[in-house]
Amino acid sequence: MNTSDTHALTGVYVTDALDFDERRASDEHLRACPECRTEIEGFRATTAVLAEVSAAEPPATLRRAVLDSVDRGRQTPPIHDAKRSRSSRQLPTKFWQGLAAACVVIALAATLFGYSQHLHGDSVADPGVAAVLREPDVMATSGDLSTGQATVLYSARGQVGVLLGRSIPSAAAGKTYQLWVMHADPTPSTSMGLFHPDALGTVLVTFSGDLVPGDRLGVSVEPASGSSAPSNVLAVLPVRS
Amino acid sequence: MTRPLRRQGRAQPAHDAAIRTLESLIAASAHGDEEAFGQLYDLTAARVYGLVLRIIRDRGHAAEVTQEVYLEVWRQAARYNPSKSTALPWLLMITHRRAVDRVRTAQAGSDRDLRYAEKNVERAYDNTSETVERSLDAQRVRQALGQLTPVQREAITLAYFGGYSQTEIAGLVKAPVGTVKTRIRDALIRLRDALGVNS
């Protein structure tokens, strides 16, 4: 990228005016260019002031809806600096893009959960799932989990994912399922929380995190309070190619 | 009613021992403090929702995207780094990207034509717009927008408030993409200087 291109890049970057592929290329450049990053920070602060002219009163019901949804939403743990530098904005080597992929993913979700509404329909059953499906780079992987099947949808761009399962038996008494992001050695696995299938064996767990190529999603069976590292691993699904 | 954040901050009741900055509210939210998160919402929702609405132009979808934005903020709160960015730019960065993603994926393209685009450009610095609070900050922004050249104003407005990509803008204004890029950057430099934003 030559200098004039580089300088011009900062404005379209901050205003999200780049197409997705261009954005990926820019991320790469910005990692190596402190001048651009400084300019971008200033532009972000500028656009934050600009947004004052579009301020509008949200519907009164929205506050309740937001607080209800965070009440159910899991939070992402802070990441260690070492991991941040390793993983920051690493680019996936392969994308499921375009209509075909979107159709596959939507059909999959529809099969599993009877989502009848279109992706952009007016109502969305689960905001977490909807958010994942809406990402243009969402990838899907399926595999067996115990006696049932599990599918993982993950978007590297949105750093959000969802584990869907069906016909998953309940964990044995005093046990729980635990979801993990399993990193390449020597980084220890990160817990993404505990989960239990519902009475019909359905599982729906949303998670968020900056997964890098090589990271996999694991499901283990643990004592009821969960563990700090996976012990009895039932399934491992590749998430990022 | 939307008021500038600083004034809302001062308006906190006196018994509220410490006036909490947006940054500290995000830090508290990262530890699962829903009350702090509620305050963060109260102080920022008008800007978040308003920006989404401006880009998406549908109240129902704007509410939905706003909800997604706050859910993402809640989830990512622990990763917010106040030494890298103040809170509002961080929050509005998430907001803008989500709104743009929605409008591009949804391809509300049918009515995203030049006529609408032009209307949007006018609205950005139109004092009579009914949804705009006439705060001092908003007036300052309109003045700053007024100091741009018409092509700069058009480019920054289409990109930031219209959610158009550089390729779409190039088509709308019949200029090469490289020119559009330069106009957007020049506009932001002038706005940054006119608004006295410290980077």
Q: What is the mean pLDDT of residues A193-222?
A: 83
Please report the pLDDT score of residue B5 as a whole number.
Answer: 42
ipTM of the complex: 0.84
Chain B residues within an 8 Å CB radius of A156: none
Distance (Å, rounded) from C-alpha A166 to C-alpha A151?
Answer: 9
Residue A97 has pLDDT above 60, yes or no: no
CA atoms within 13 A on the CB side of B167: 6
Asked if the Cβ–Cβ distance from B50 to A65 is below 8 Å, we say no
Contact A237, A216 (CB under 8 A): yes
Tell me which of A195-209, A218-232, B35-49, B122-136 is least confident: B122-136
Close Cβ partners of B12 (under 8 Å, ≥ 6 residues apart): B19, B20
Q: Exposed/middle/buried for B44, CB within 10 Å: 0-12, 13-18, 19+?
A: buried
Chain A residues within an 8 Å CB radius of B180: 12, 17
Chain B from 69 to 98: CB within 8 A of any A CB:
70-72, 74-79, 84-86, 88-90, 92-93, 96-97
Nearest CA-CA partner of B44 in A48, A144, A74, A80: A48
Structure token digits, residue B25: 């509210």
Which residue type sits at A75?
Q
Chain B residues within an 8 Å CB radius of A67: 34, 37-38, 41
Contact A58, B63 (CB under 8 A): yes
Q: How far is A239 from chain B (nearest CA, A)?
A: 20
Please report the pLDDT score of residue A109 as a whole number.
Answer: 55
Q: What is the mean pLDDT of residues A227-237?
A: 85
Interface probe for B, chosen from A53, A68, A71, A99 (most Cβ of B below 10 Å), is: A53
Backbone region of residue A57 per phi and psi (left: phi > 0; alpha: psi in -120 to 50; beta: other values): beta
Q: Exposed/middle/buried for B129, CB within 10 Å: 0-12, 13-18, 19+?
A: middle
